[in-house]
Structure 1
Amino acid sequence: MIEIKNISKTFNGKVVLDDVSGIFRKGETSLVIGASGTGKSVLLKCMLDLVEPEKGEVFFDGKEFLHVSENDRKDLRREMGVLFQGGALFDSKTVQENVKFPLDMLTKMSEGEKNDRVEFCLHKVGLDGTGPRMPSEISGGMKKRVGIARAIVMNPKYLFCDEPNSGLDPLTSIKIDELIKEITDDFNITTVVITHDMNSVLSIGDNIMFLYKGKKLWEGDSSTIMTSSVKELDEFVFSNHALKKLRGEFTK
């Protein structure tokens, strides 16, 4: 479980996050949603200690993260997997080398053990046999899968995904959502996904936090979001014609 308490952050005098609190539970796919510029990615960076908030605390299974020693922070980071928005693969490394990179940097496993773990993770994301290929030789969706394999190679307790469907076609996006949900369920980890993709919200949103101008205005799940009475959330959810028609079905 991850708990954030009263996270606040400003940049150049502009409030980006304003007293945001919430709980992300083990075994659930938790989504943080909102329009561009609402503070979603900044919140993620605060949780990862990549950006320091002016105020607030972050707890991983009761362990405070932002104000501990560097050694304790490193120990907690070993339990985190991160899928960055662009995939962030090393162009000069093969798929196998990209996935193995955290093991090379952070473990004392033998080469055989590392190779077995990489093979397992590539199998888990449906990329058997792709280890020798270069990132330039695979599709955007496959790159995201490689990124997920790398994110889980250390067997993390916590998985963070920043806009995992960015730049992907709808069908591939659905497959990535399904994969993230499957990994969360299979490994019983705490997963936090930053997204503005309503398909993701409706299909894998066990817990959903809505940010608006840096504030948390609503929290719920995919079964209640369609009938929310929060005006700003309503506008975000039903911002396209298809969902406007869907709203009619929910409110009849």
Structure 2
Amino acid sequence: MIEVVDVSKTFGDKVVLDGINARFDDSNTSLIIGQSGHGKSVLLKCIVGLIQPDKGKVLYDGRDFISGDDDTKREIRREIGMLFQGNALFDSKDVEGNVMFPLDMLTSMSREEKLERVNFCLKRVGLENVNKRMPSEISGGMQKRVGIARAIVLNPKYLFCDEPNSGLDPLTAIKIDELIGEITDEYKITTIVVTHDMNSVMTIGEYILYIHRGRKLWQGNSQTITDTTSPELQEFIFANRLLRDANNQRAKTS
């Protein structure tokens, strides 16, 4: 479980996060949603330690990631897997090398053990026999799957996904959502996804945190979100429906 306690962050005169409180449970796919520029990505970066909040706590199973000692922070970092928005694959490494990279950096496993783990993770995301292909030789959806395989190769307790459906067609996006949900449930991971995609919200949103202008405006799940009385969230949902319909129409005519 990850707990965010009264987290705030200011850049200059701009308040980006204002007293955010949330709890992300084990074996749940939790979503942080909101419009661009309203703080959701900054919150994610505070949770994973890329940005230091001005105040507040981030607790990983009770361990303070903000003010904990160096040993505590190193221990938590080893338990984190990250899927970046742009995949962040190394162009100079093949698929096998990309997935193996965390094992090379953080473990003392033998080459045979690393390869066995890489092949297991690639198989789990539906990518067998692509080890020697370069990122430029595979589709965007396959690149996302490689990114997921790399994110889980160290068997993390916590998985973070930053806009995992960015740049994907609707059908591929649904498959990536389903894969994230399956892995979360199968390995009992605490998963947090930053997204603006309402398809993701309705498919895998077991817990949803809506950020508006740096504040937590709503929390709930995919069953309750459409019943919201928040005009800001209603507008967000409506705008996403228009965008989804336009994308679907373009997909049909292309």
Q: Identify the TM-score tier after normalising by the shorter chain.
A: over 0.9
**Structure-2 change in CA distance of 1:176 and 1:17 (3 Å):** same
**Structure-2 change in CA distance of 1:239 and 1:60 (3 Å):** same
- 8 Å Cα contact 2:63/2:72 also seen in 1: no
- 1:231 alignment counterpart: 231
**What is the rounded CA distance, in whole Å, between the counterparts of 1:99 and 1:21 in structure 2?**
34
Deviations 1:182-232 (A, max 9, x none): 000100110000000000000110000000000000000000000101111
- 2:107 alignment counterpart: 107
Aligned AA for 1:190? Answer: T
**What is the rounded CA distance, in whole Å, between the counterparts of 2:7 and 2:30 in structure 1?**
17
- 1:194 alignment counterpart: 194
- 2:90 alignment counterpart: 90
Give 3-state SS (helix, strand or coil) of 2:155's partner.
coil
TM-score, scaled to structure 2 = 0.94
**What is the rounded CA distance, in whole Å, between the counterparts of 1:207 and 1:179 in structure 2?**
17
Give 3-state SS (helix, strand or coil) of 2:202's partner.
helix
- 2:177 alignment counterpart: 177
Deviations 1:56-77 (A, max 9, x none): 1000011111112222211110
Matched, 1:125 2:125: yes
Matched, 1:145 2:145: yes
**What is the rounded CA distance, in whole Å, between the counterparts of 1:237 and 1:55 in structure 2?**
31
Aligned AA for 2:78? Answer: R
**What is the rounded CA distance, in whole Å, between the counterparts of 2:49 and 2:236 in structure 1?**
28
Matched, 1:220 2:220: yes
Q: Superposed, which structure 2 residues align to 1:40-119 within 5 Å?
A: 40-119=40-119
Matched, 1:28 2:55: no
Give the share of equivalent positions with the same residue, in percent.
Answer: 61
Aligned AA for 1:22? Answer: A
**What is the rounded CA distance, in whole Å, between the counterparts of 1:138 and 1:157 in structure 2?**
28
- 8 Å Cα contact 2:202/2:222 also seen in 1: yes
Q: Superposed, which structure 2 residues align to 1:195-210 within 5 Å?
A: 195-210=195-210
**What is the rounded CA distance, in whole Å, between the counterparts of 2:204 and 2:166 in structure 1?**
16
Deviations 1:83-106 (A, max 9, x none): 000000000001001000000000
**What is the rounded CA distance, in whole Å, between the counterparts of 1:229 and 1:145 in structure 2?**
37
RMSD (Å), alpha carbons: 1.4
**What is the rounded CA distance, in whole Å, between the counterparts of 1:13 and 1:53 in structure 2?**
15
> Structure 2: 5+ residue runs without aligned partners?
246-254
Matched, 1:157 2:153: no
> Structure 1: 5+ residue runs without aligned partners?
246-252
**What is the rounded CA distance, in whole Å, between the counterparts of 1:107 and 1:101 in structure 2?**
10
Matched pairs, number? 245
**What is the rounded CA distance, in whole Å, between the counterparts of 1:100 and 1:74 in structure 2?**
20
Give 3-state SS (helix, strand or coil) of 2:51's partner.
coil
Aligned AA for 1:207? Answer: Y
- 1:8 alignment counterpart: 8
Give 3-state SS (helix, strand or coil) of 1:239's partner.
helix
Deviations 1:156-200 (A, max 9, x none): 000000000001100110000000000001001100000000000
Aligned AA for 2:172? Answer: T
Give 3-state SS (helix, strand or coil) of 1:171's partner.
helix
4+ runs of 1 displaced by more than 4 Å? 240-243
**Structure-2 change in CA distance of 1:71 and 1:230 (3 Å):** same
